[in-house]
């Protein structure tokens, strides 16, 4: 009976999650249908600039080897770039949290870094650092780290002052209070900033590949999108965009699951974990 009860609860949770996804699936289906009808009404010549969904689906199959090999390149860049951004963003947030002087000196520069246009920065970095993966990682990390810094600082600032007062009552050092109180409180902010950074990192990777060049036979999906559009193979270009979108959604989901496992208290109703 216990096994049956557990199976029924698991089935019930699966059904609830499926029902929550239903509105999004209905909207997506409706948008694809409108897109298909619109392109069909415009005629065959129009599909050279905006391919129909069935043409994109066909390209996903016929060009699967080319798209897959280039996807692996872009995925590697995005994953490494997010890792660098998360480590750098967390480090910067902790540093400026501990030092008001450093915050006043560094924070405006971090804000200004987000205004640097990637199409201008990527070629310059390629000239300095070569046409390998390094300049692309710099671009991805640069456009991704700021959201992690901001959300981590917000988490550190939201710590209950009474908890810090309690740690001082027990004669805890500043570092000990940070490790046991402030860092756990900031972890949800780190995950939130990283989830925001996922979409930005994918965009940064595409722009870095398009404007930064590559010496590889598989330059990445960003370069393939540019090449496909220039060759009027727009179905292949849109297929690459679909792959990148699905990749970003998958990363977002993985990070959400990781947050639930690492910081489960962030998902508890207020008052339950006190």
- Burial class from Cβ neighbours inside 10 Å (0-12, 13-18, 19+) for residue 27 reads exposed
- Burial class from Cβ neighbours inside 10 Å (0-12, 13-18, 19+) for residue 7 reads exposed
Q: What is the pLDDT of residue 4?
A: 54
Mean pLDDT in the chain?
84
- Burial class from Cβ neighbours inside 10 Å (0-12, 13-18, 19+) for residue 241 reads middle
Q: What is the pLDDT of residue 187?
A: 87
Q: What is the pLDDT of residue 56?
A: 93
Give the number of residues written for the chain: 274
- What is the secondary structure of 82-133 as a DSSP string? HHHHHHHHHHHHHHHHH-HHHHHHHHHHHHHHTTS-HHHHHHHHHHHH-SSS
- Which is more confidently placed, 13 or 270? 13
- Which is more confidently placed, 240 or 19? 240
Q: What is the pLDDT of residue 113?
A: 83
End-to-end CA distance of the chain: 34
Distance CA 178, CA 51 (A): 54
Q: Is the pLDDT of residue 169 over 50?
A: yes
Distance CA 173, CA 32 (A): 58
Model's pTM, two decimal places?
A: 0.82
- Out of 79-93, 114-128, 131-145, 223-237, least confident range: 114-128
Q: Is the pLDDT of residue 217 over 80?
A: no
Q: Is the pLDDT of residue 268 over 70?
A: no
Query: What is the arithmetic mean of pLDDT over 228-238?
Result: 90
> Phi-psi category of 171—alpha, beta or left, where left has phi over 0 and alpha has psi -120 to 50?
left
Residue among 164, 140, 153 at smallest CA distance from 190: 153
pLDDT digits (tens, 9 = 90+) for 25-75: 888 899 999 989 998 888 878 878 889 999 999 999 999 999 999 999 999
Q: What is the pLDDT of residue 48?
A: 81
Give the percent of the chain with pLDDT over 90.
Answer: 25
pLDDT digits (tens, 9 = 90+) for 175-202: 888 888 888 888 888 899 999 999 889 9
């Amino acid at each position: 009976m216990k096994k049956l009860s557990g199976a029924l609860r698991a089935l019930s949770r699966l059904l609830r999650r499926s029902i929550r996804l239903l509105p999004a699936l209905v909207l997506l289906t409706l948008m694809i249908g409108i897109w298909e009808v619109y392109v069909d009404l415009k005629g065959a010549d129009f599909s050279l600039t905006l391919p129909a969904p069935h043409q994109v689906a066909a390209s996903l199959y016929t060009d699967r080897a080319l798209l897959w090999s280039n996807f692996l390149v872009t995925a590697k860049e995005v994953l490494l770039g997010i890792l660098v951004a998360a480590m750098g963003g967390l480090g910067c947030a902790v540093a400026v949290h501990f030092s008001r002087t450093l915050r006043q000196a560094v924070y405006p520069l971090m804000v200004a870094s987000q205004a640097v246009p990637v199409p201008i920065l990527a070629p310059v970095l390629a000239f300095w650092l070569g046409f390998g993966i390094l300049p692309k990682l710099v671009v991805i990390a640069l456009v991704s780290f700021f959201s992690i810094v901001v959300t981590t600082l917000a988490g550190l600032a939201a710590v209950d002052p009474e908890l810090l007062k309690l740690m001082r009552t027990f004669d805890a050092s500043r570092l000990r209070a940070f490790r046991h109180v402030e860092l756990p409180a900031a972890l949800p902010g780190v995950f939130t900033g990283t989830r925001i950074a996922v979409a930005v990192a994918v965009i940064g990777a595409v722009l870095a590949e398009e404007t930064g060049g590559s010496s590889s036979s598989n330059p990445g999906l960003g370069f393939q999108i540019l090449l496909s559009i220039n060759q009027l193979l727009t179905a292949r270009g849109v297929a690459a965009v679909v792959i990148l979108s699905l990749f970003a959604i998958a990363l977002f989901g993985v990070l959400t699951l990781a947050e639930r496992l690492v910081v489960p208290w962030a998902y508890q109703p207020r008052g339950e974990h006190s």
